[in-house]
Amino acid sequence: MAESDEHDEIMIGALVSTVWLELRHRVSAALAAAGFDDYRPTHESVFQWLGPDGDRVSDLAQHAGMTRQSMAELVDYLEAHGYVERVPDPSDGRAVLVQRTDRGWMVNRAARRVVEETQAEWARALGREEFDHLLSHLRRLAGVIQRPARVAGHPRTRRGAR
């Protein structure tokens, strides 16, 4: 490959980012239109890792790769706006779990619908088989990326419902 061609080639980061930004824009617009205008893309850092039975703020922070304090600020905002609540951890009376409220589950379902609609649109654009291959390869790549993190004691498995 010639040096000028090398600089003209779009790298994987830009490609993945372009797809992610489009999906995030669609989800944000749909959520605002559905009445969730106080939900921000940054809140995905909570919902992406929040399991169906709840999680501790420290665990959410570890999964998201951010400080406990930063995660607590996001959770505080989401709690103040009715998306999550803090409840006692039944396995440890000193600990607190963050759980989705009914509103949190509603925003989750609304976002999921947009993602499913977008995937269907993109599958039509690429062809179902090609799109399925793309998803398969992305899942495999995500597994390769996540595996070393788990070995190092940092579990980064996606637990959220999106």
**Which pair of structure tokens corresponds to residue 122?**
């993109």
What lies within 8 Å, CB to CB, of 149 at 6+ separation is 155, 156
Domains of the chain: 39-100 (1.10.10.10)
The model carries a pTM of: 0.79
Residue type, 159: R
Residue carrying structure tokens 């039975």: 53
**Which pair of structure tokens corresponds to residue 145?**
């990326």
Round to whole Å and give the CA distance between 148 and 160.
20
Round to whole Å and give the CA distance between 161 and 57.
17
pLDDT at 157: 47
Report pLDDT digits (tens) over 53-112.
999 999 999 999 999 999 999 999 999 999 999 999 999 889 999 999 999 999 999 999
158 vs 100, more confident: 100
**Which pair of structure tokens corresponds to residue 34?**
């559905």
Report pLDDT digits (tens) over 39-55.
999 999 999 999 999 99
Which uninterrupted H or E stretch holds 150?
helix 128-151
Of the given ranges (10-19, 101-110, 119-128, 141-150), which has the lowest mean pLDDT? 141-150
Indicate left, alpha or beta for 23 from its phi (over 0: left) and psi (-120 to 50: alpha).
alpha
- Yes or no: say if 98 and 56 are a contact pair by the CB < 8 Å rule: yes
Rg (CA), the chain: 18
Work out the average pLDDT over 134-151.
78
- Yes or no: say if 62 and 100 are a contact pair by the CB < 8 Å rule: no
pLDDT at 147: 52
Chain center to CA of 66:
14
